[in-house]
Amino acid sequence: MESYLAAAVQMTSTADLESNLHQARELVGIAARRGAQLISLPENFAFLGPEAQKLAEAPRIAELSEKFLREAAREWKITLLGGGYPTPAEGTTKCYNTALLVGPNGEDLGRYQKLHLFDVNLPDGNTYRESDSVVPGQQLQVVHTEKLGALGLSVCYDLRFPELYRALSERGADLLLVPSAFTAFTGKDHWRVLLRARAIENTCYILAAAQTGEHYARRQTYGHALIVDPWGNVLADAGDTPGMAIAEIDPKRLAQVRRQLPVLQHRKL
């Protein structure tokens, strides 16, 4: 593993697939020109609109999303995460919420399907039922790379389940990717503290891309894409407008924190 720059992209995606991919391409290009070698797009980067429309267009969204990810990674010679986006679940009328990690040659490095689905009734009056349209995944995914370290994949609501991240760290993860579309209501109280906690308890870097602003109907997201170091320090915050958080991932810092606080070696359960 070498020291490198990573970027967590922040978008305001809508139900317009082509517009979203255009926005993603521009932001990925900016991050790459700034020197980022690992770039993450947020959950729903390609489509954030009504569930019925998402299901109807899932095959096309998946096809164009994956084509875009492979072409952009190859064009900029970067490692690029796009997640999640809908991919049809064979034998059902639903889809998976998929995150795809693509390498600098346009090759697929890892594919993760979101395990935990967002089925909640929030105090602000909004109700979310992700399971109405999405099938949960079954497998963990840690992608081991020579230059970027071991990358543990997750998506948004997974953040509330610390056992997932402990399992990823047990499999050697150095950096945890959390592409998200956190709601504005929950984000203001939970987003930052949960990301810092996952970093601290697993002594890992966190790369958390985000959605921000108003998308459709009453759907609003919190923003604040973050990069967090293994001590829990926030290295970069994208604020509440489209853009990115960009910061250095330093293996020496990772080793230092793990040497000073060897919590992963002290576990009893």
Tell which phi-psi region holds residue 213, choosing left (phi > 0), alpha (psi between -120 and 50) or beta. left
Catalytic residue among 66, 95, 156, 204: 156
Catalytic residue, chosen from 18, 43, 170, 204, is 43
Q: How many CB atoms lie within 10 A of CB 177?
A: 29
162-170 vs 184-202: helix crossing angle, rounded to 10: 30
Does the annotation count 204 as an active-site position? no
**Would residue 268 show up in a list of annotated catalytic residues for this protein?**
no
| Residue 236 CB burial class (10 angstroms; 0-12, 13-18, ≥19) | middle
Residue 43 annotated to the active site: yes
CA distance to 93, 99, 191, 196, per residue, from 41 (Å) = 26, 10, 17, 20
Options 54, 95, 114, 204, the catalytic residue = 114
Residue whose entry in the numeric block shows the structure tokens 């990115």: 244
Residues forming the active site: 43, 114, 156
